[in-house]
């Protein structure tokens, strides 16, 4: 009995600390529902253990106490088991390269280049009706949108104009004479440099053909030209967006935050690019609106995380609340090992579906991974999604806002991330609790 009493005391202290931590964290994050439930848990938890300790001599109380201790022991045992069924190998043999002319930004700008539009729609007549409908809506940043603001909308436009000006820096002079490089040391330094300038993660991977676009499509001067990329390696830079800003999705703060982080990730990519060129090796920065490569498959290949149901990259700590930029180079580097949480993210996405349930334009698949470009992978209905962007005047991000991974990197959320990285049972329970504490269906804000 004395042992049980001691265990009761230890557990009551640990669980009370956890509940208090969760309550404190919910208050700081301004999560009203979670705050109310965390307070209820704190009170209920204190009451339960206090009841066991005070009435331990009553027979039925001691039986009940024992049953609770066995349940806690089982919970801890299951919680630490690490097992995920092996992931289905992706068949990439039939993969078709992505053509930049097919992305929505490229198709939207065809309205300003009638000759290119004629060429494109001659090859893709089925896309003309939907594209013309989307092209008819005001551009992001113009008056007429639901979330337009005369003072803040020009701010994200200024950020994108700045990025446009940095395009010329993506290529530049390489110092004469290649210096001898210690591959391991250089790879470590590049990753450290990225993190010291604000990246939350930096990965390296060999460049494969499916990582690159097939043709240029964003600008009239090289529209339709084949992309010829000779570089061998890619450095992927991950920057985290502020969760507090993403909570306003799909209202204006979202695009203020995404544009801000595009600028941050571009800054890091340009510094790394210049750094490598200084050693006599060619390098190119790939930043917002100026890509030759696909950032998401590169980030997955670099072992930084997984492809999420919403068709974007999921980082083990920051989830989809990140932006990416890339540096490609002829310099040989040491690839980063695969992140050990990749399988757990993929398994979580298979069962969660919160983004699909909440997407205002129903652009996200609710069932199995769809097949597109010749292989099975998560991808969204880009026309529906982009059309919604041009209706509201922001880049929406509501799927990122509702994702259970979009939580600040605090101790309590780290514990939860560790818990869901162990096995599918933990994930189911965590998802149930996420729905309970944060909600399953989210209303979209009218404005901010």
**Interface contacts to ligand SF4, rule CB under 6 A:** 250, 308-310, 320, 348-349, 352-355, 359-361, 363-364, 380, 385, 388, 396-399, 402-405
Q: Which is nearer to ligand SF4, 42 or 430 (CB)?
A: 430
Q: Which is nearer to ligand SF4, 235 or 385 (CB)?
A: 385
Tell me which H or E stretch contains 236.
strand 233-240
Q: Nearest Cα to 397, choosing from 264, 265, 244, 258?
A: 258
Q: Which is nearer to ligand SF4, 104 or 174 (CB)?
A: 104
Q: Which is nearer to ligand SF4, 263 or 392 (CB)?
A: 392
> Nearest distance from residue 371's CB to ligand SF4, in Å?
18
Q: Nearest Cα to 400, choosing from 265, 243, 202, 261?
A: 243
Cis peptide before 8 (omega within 30 of 0): no
CA 241/CA 326 separation, integer angstroms = 17
Interior/surface letters 9-35, b for 16+ CB within 10 angstroms, e for the rest = eebbeebbebbbbbbebbeebebeebb
Q: How would DSSP label each residue in 23-75?
A: HHHHHHTT-HHHHHHHHHHHHHHHHHHHHHHHTTTSHHHHHHHHHHHHHHHHH
Contact 188, 319 (CB under 8 A): no
CA 125/CA 118 separation, integer angstroms = 10
| HSE-CB for 45 with a 13 A CA cutoff | 20
Contact 257, 242 (CB under 8 A): yes
> Nearest distance from residue 88's CB to ligand SF4, in Å?
17
Q: Which is nearer to ligand SF4, 149 or 435 (CB)?
A: 435
Q: Which is nearer to ligand SF4, 65 or 379 (CB)?
A: 379
Q: Report the helix count and the strand count for the chain, using DSSP H and E.
A: 17, 8
> Nearest distance from residue 399's CB to ligand SF4, in Å?
3
CA 85/CA 351 separation, integer angstroms = 14
> Nearest distance from residue 359's CB to ligand SF4, in Å?
3
Contact 110, 134 (CB under 8 A): no
Q: Which is nearer to ligand SF4, 280 or 439 (CB)?
A: 439
> Nearest distance from residue 382's CB to ligand SF4, in Å?
8
> Nearest distance from residue 424's CB to ligand SF4, in Å?
13
> Nearest distance from residue 250's CB to ligand SF4, in Å?
6
> Nearest distance from residue 152's CB to ligand SF4, in Å?
19
Sign, CA dihedral 222-223-226-228, equals positive
Q: Which is nearer to ligand SF4, 213 or 438 (CB)?
A: 438
């Amino acid at each position: 009995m004395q042992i049980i009493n001691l265990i009761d005391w230890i557990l009551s202290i640990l669980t009370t600390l956890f509940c208090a931590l969760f309550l404190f964290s919910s208050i700081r994050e301004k999560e009203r529902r979670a705050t109310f439930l965390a307070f209820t848990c704190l009170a209920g938890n204190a009451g339960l253990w206090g009841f066991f300790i005070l009435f331990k001599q009553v027979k039925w109380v001691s039986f009940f106490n024992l049953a609770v201790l066995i349940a806690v022991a089982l919970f801890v045992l299951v919680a630490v088991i690490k097992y995920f069924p092996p992931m289905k190998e992706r068949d990439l043999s039939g993969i078709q390269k992505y053509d930049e002319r097919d992305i929505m930004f490229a198709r939207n700008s065809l309205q300003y280049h009638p000759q290119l539009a004629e060429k494109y729609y001659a090859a893709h007549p089925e896309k003309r009706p939907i594209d013309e409908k989307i092209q008819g809506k005001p551009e992001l940043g113009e008056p007429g949108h639901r979330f337009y603001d005369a003072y803040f909308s020009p701010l994200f436009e200024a950020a994108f104009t700045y990025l446009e000006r940095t395009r010329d820096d993506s290529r530049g002079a390489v110092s004469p004479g290649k210096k001898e490089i210690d591959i391991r040391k250089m790879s470590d330094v590049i990753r450290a440099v990225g993190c010291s300038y604000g990246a939350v993660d930096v990965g390296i991977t060999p460049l494969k053909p499916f990582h690159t676009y097939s043709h240029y499509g964003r600008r009239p001067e090289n529209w339709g030209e084949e992309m010829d990329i000779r570089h061998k390696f890619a450095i992927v830079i991950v920057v985290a967006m502020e969760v507090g800003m993403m909570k306003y999705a799909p209202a204006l703060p979202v695009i203020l935050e995404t544009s801000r982080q595009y600028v941050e990730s571009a800054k890091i990519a340009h510094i790394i690019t210049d750094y490598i060129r200084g050693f006599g090796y060619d390098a190119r920065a790939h930043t917002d609106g100026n890509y030759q490569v696909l950032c998401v498959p590169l980030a997955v290949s670099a072992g930084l995380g997984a492809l999420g149901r919403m068709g974007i990259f999921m980082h083990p700590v920051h989830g989809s609340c990140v932006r990416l930029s890339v540096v490609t180079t002829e310099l040989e580097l040491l690839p980063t090992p695969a992140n050990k949480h990749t399988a757990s993210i993929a398994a979580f996405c298979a069962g969660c579906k919160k983004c699909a349930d909440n997407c205002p334009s129903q652009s996200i698949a609710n069932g199995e991974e769809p097949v597109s470009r010749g292989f099975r992978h998560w991808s969204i209905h880009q026309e529906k999604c982009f059309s919604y962007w041009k209706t509201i005047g922001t880049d929406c991000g509501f799927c990122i806002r509702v994702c259970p991974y979009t939580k600040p990197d605090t101790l309590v959320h780290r514990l939860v991330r560790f818990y869901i990285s162990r096995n599918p049972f933990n994930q189911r329970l965590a998802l149930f609790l996420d729905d309970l504490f944060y909600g399953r269906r989210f209303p979209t804000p009218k404005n901010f």
